[in-house]
Chain A
Amino acid sequence: MRPDGITNTEMSHDVTVKPDGGRAGARSCAAAAERSARRSRGRRMKTMPASWKLLLLPTLLLMTSCGRTDTKTLDPTQTPPASVPPLADLKREVVLKSENVTENIELRQLVRLFLECSLTADQNKLPNMTAFWSRDGQEIPDSRLTVALEKEQYGIQRLFNITSEEKVGTYSCVFENKVRADFVLATPRFREKRDKPVVSYVHDFVVLPCKMEGSENESLTWLWFKGNETHKERISAQPDRFEIRSQNLTSRLKLINLTFADAGFYYCAAVYAVGSTMNPIKLKVITFWEPLKPFIAILIAVVLLVVVIFLCEKQQSKKKVTEGNEENVDQNNIKLQEEEKGAEEGSSMRHRKV
């Protein structure tokens, strides 16, 4: 029958859409949810009476595939179902003495997190010590244990399955003497943070880069947003305005034909299975008149200086010329006098001769 046929294909679709590896888990779940929601809406319009049944089945399947109940992560003894692919293993150990310790853990993928806290015994050397695990400040139920002293230490360990973005948080082991160790789980942070705005010009284009640290063959998903702290809008590539070029660890947003409206904050988000990190970049758009003002000011200053220097020089050389003229005049006078003398002598000689 037609409705069942459709349901069957729906089922098969859903099965293939199951999380195919820890990394793509969150993304494909979201996509699957979107797709099936669209399909369900479409079907609702076509076959009204059977709509409930058709809606129920895919939704149930999606729930079982996407949403794993919290109890699984809190129960280390129960093995995960076979359909879930193997997660990477990550182990962290902390040795405590008398002060609280904070350990930052950078997560790039879904992991099985094995945490161990060892408290060094103080002078009292109590035979037993109670401790519990907490998550984001709240004690995890059924995690309180009594630990016996072993080789001068009280040891407590627990396995956490970090299988989705919701599981990411701060996990702590707390001992009854209030000494604790906090394991802060987070997605990788951006190393280069640019606090000054990128400046560009109207009708020009600008390239905003984002670079994440990581290994060479790691391939990240990048998303870009525009907005502010509270409200962010996703940017999709539009041929005459935005161009997004992402490649492994870097992503570049190119804004073409800028206008004043394009100014503001842009966020690039590196998306991991365990969450995403955002990096804000501020864009400032100005006209060419802005730098033109100091340019003209300095130009005028330079021209004035050059003119002043040349004028001073002319004045000085005029002075010298007048001095030189006076000297020449004096010399001429002397020469004239000498000539006159010579002429007189000559004439007297001539007279004598004559």
Chain B
Amino acid sequence: MPPAAATNLAHKPPDGGWGWAVVVAAFISIGFSYAFPKSLTIYFKEIQEYFSVSYSEIAWLSSVMLASMYAGGPVSSILVNRYGSRPVVMLGGLMVSAAMVLSSFGTTIIHLYLCVGVIGGFGLAFNLQPALTIIGTYFQAKRPLANGLAMTGSPVFLSILAPLNQFLFDSYGWRGSFLILGSIVLNCCVAGALMRPVHKQVASKPSSPLPKFNKAVDEGAAADASMQTADSDPEERRHEGKGPSQASKLADFSLFKHRGFLIYLTGNVVMFFGFFAPVVFLAPYAKHQGIDEYSAAFLLTIFALVDMFIRPFTGFLGNTRRIRPKIQYFFSFAVSYNGICHLLFPLASGYSGLVVYAVFFGVGFGMVSALLFEVLMDLVGAPRFSSALGLVTIIECGPVLLGPPMLGALVDTFGEYKYLYVTCGVLMLAPGLFFFIMHYFNYKKLKEEQKPEAAVETRRPGETVELKTNDEASK
């Protein structure tokens, strides 16, 4: 049974201890990154009146922010590769804070686009990437659980930020609220302060990514060599020879030759077209069915609550002995489940049908979100995760931004929402099945690639024994 992907790190991930503080830090950073743009929509109506702009112009603010967040991905991953997570997160926090404070003095809508949209978006990108990366350095055995817990930040923060923003708006208007949000967002710097670089944990031992065969030699001598199980990523090993240069490489385009990465990327690009749209259109669809505003909003609350609890649970499940080695199948199942959920939705009728859908969709959305980055880590390994994440976010930028408007156009042309949900269902089910099939082959190939290497390893200790005896004889 092919074991979980190795970290190929030179140190032993603590899998606990300060790691849990890092999970809290990642929870905060991820929470702000995902929930902050969504919660700003509360101010849109008043800002629209204030600057006398149309609704689409104010909606652009959200899009610019989201686009900057995704475009900032590669920049963020380069910085993390060079400087580590902590400085980047603190810089990100300062950037978003400055952006909000500057925008509170804004005089035109362009001012807001630049401050909140561009600078704010970049700042949030500088929070998201490092938070995910540092989990990979701190956790190996409990990584799915850590990822699941960290990703729970998104729904939790949204539930906190939405009413908080409403309160701030009622008390201070939009300018004062932006100012205060600027200080609240500085808590990202607190999160950054918690993200202690993991090398500091490993006190005085040398930490360079030595090639594998050297490690085997040291195995007898040094007791703290990484607890490497067989690598499920033989391509990694071949590149290992380049060791340090790989880690310091700024943009890792060699990832495009990585089989697992390509599978992930292809599936995700299709999936993201239909991933967020059902959330966006849930309330409008409910109102279209004749349900009043408060009940429609309550659907979203149900969805968020279910999402909140499913994410850590999924992380926990992903960590179990049976699922961890086959976590790619778990992810494929989650994606397909989403697809089936959307396909069956048009059959639901009445408010109770909507509630049932909200619950099931919440489960699906939470599962996919919790596993989204865990499976990428599993495929490419922790050292290359940062670069991989950068590439993934900038390529996913397109589907995420284009998805909801395109599907919205679908609703406008047909006048009915059921086509939207059928399309989303197909857009999720197809990648899900794609993942199942491709990962079946991928696992098979990985198994084959590991067999000759395992044989090589069994030979190595014998060689070293010969070497040693030779040495002693020469003495």
Contacts and interface: CB of A to CB of B under 8 A. Distances in A.
Interface of A: 196-201, 204, 206-207, 209, 252, 286, 288, 290-292, 294-296, 298-299, 302, 305-306, 309-310, 313, 317, 320, 323-324, 327-328
B279 interface: no
Nearest to B178: A291
Given A199-B172, A306-B193, 11 more contacts: A201-B175, A201-B176, A207-B50, A294-B183, A302-B186, A302-B190, A305-B190, A306-B190, A309-B194, A324-B204, A328-B204
Contact of A298 (B52, B170, B186): B186
Interface string B351-392: 000000000000000000000000000000000000000000
Nearest to B187: A302
B471 interface: no
B172 A286 contact: yes
Contacts of B190: 302, 305-306, 309
Contacts of A324: 203-204
B189 A306 contact: yes
B186 A291 contact: no
A235 B422 CA distance: 54
Contacts of A200: 173
A291 B176 contact: yes
Interface of A is mostly: helix
Interface in B107-150: none
B175 A298 contact: no
Contacts of B186: 298-299, 302
Interface in B157-192: 170-173, 175-177, 179-180, 182-184, 186-187, 189-190
Contacts of B172: 199, 286, 290-291
Counting from the closest, the 5 A-B pairs by CB-CB distance are: A291-B176, A199-B173, A298-B183, A309-B193, A302-B186
B191 to A, nearest CB: 10
Contact of A295 (B183, B194, B196, B200): B183
28 contacts: A199-B171, A199-B173, A207-B49, A209-B49, A252-B49, A286-B172, A288-B175, A290-B172, A291-B172, A291-B176, A291-B179, A292-B179, A294-B180, A295-B179, A295-B182, A298-B184, A298-B186, A302-B183, A302-B189, A305-B190, A306-B190, A306-B193, A309-B190, A310-B193, A313-B196, A324-B203, A324-B204, A328-B204
A306 B86 CA distance: 12
A201 B194 CA distance: 38
A172 to B, nearest CB: 31
A97 B70 CA distance: 66
A256 to B, nearest CB: 12
Contact of B183 (A288, A299, A323): A299
A305 B179 contact: no
A305 B203 CA distance: 25
A327 to B, nearest CB: 8
Interface residues of B, number: 26
Looking at A196, A288, A292, A295, which has the most chain B CB atoms within 10 Å of its CB? Answer: A295
Contacts of B179: 291-292, 295
Contacts of A292: 179
A306 B187 CA distance: 9
Contact of A305 (B49, B173, B193): B193
Interface string B21-57: 0000000000000000000000000100110100000
A79 B35 CA distance: 67
Contacts of B50: 206-207
Nearest to B90: A306
Nearest to A320: B203
Contacts of B203: 320, 323-324
A101 to B, nearest CB: 25
Nearest to B45: A209
Nearest to A325: B204
Contact of A204 (B170, B175, B200): B175
Contacts of A327: 204
A317 B200 CA distance: 8
Contacts of A310: 193
A320 B202 CA distance: 10
A295 B193 contact: no
A207 B176 contact: no
A198 B189 contact: no
A332 B75 CA distance: 45
Contacts of A288: 175-176
Contacts of B52: 207
B193 A201 contact: no
A142 B407 CA distance: 64
Contacts of A305: 190, 193
A35 B183 CA distance: 59
Nearest to B170: A196
Nearest to B21: A309
A294 B180 CA distance: 7
A266 to B, nearest CB: 14
A291 B177 contact: yes
B61 to A, nearest CB: 18
A288 B187 CA distance: 23
B91 to A, nearest CB: 13
B49 A201 contact: no
A224 to B, nearest CB: 15
Contacts of A209: 49
Considering residues A198, A199, A252, A292, which has the most beta carbons from chain B within 10 angstroms of its beta carbon? A199
Residue of B179, B193, B200 with highest tally of chain A CB at under 10 A: B193
Contacts of A295: 179-180, 182-183
Contacts of A252: 49
Given A201-B173, A207-B49, A286-B172, A298 B180 contact: yes
Nearest to A206: B50
Contacts of A204: 175
Contacts of A306: 189-190, 193
B187 A198 contact: no
Contact of A291 (B49, B180, B194): B180
Contacts of A290: 172, 176
Contacts of B175: 201, 204, 288, 291
A245 to B, nearest CB: 9
A290 B171 CA distance: 10
Contacts of A294: 180, 183
A242 to B, nearest CB: 16
Most chain A CB atoms below 10 A, which of B177, B183, B203:
B183
Contacts of A298: 180, 183-184, 186
Residue among A290, A306, A317, A328 facing the most chain B CB atoms (10 A cut-off): A306
Nearest to A195: B170
B358 to A, nearest CB: 27
Contacts of B187: 302
Contacts of B189: 302, 306
Nearest to A292: B179
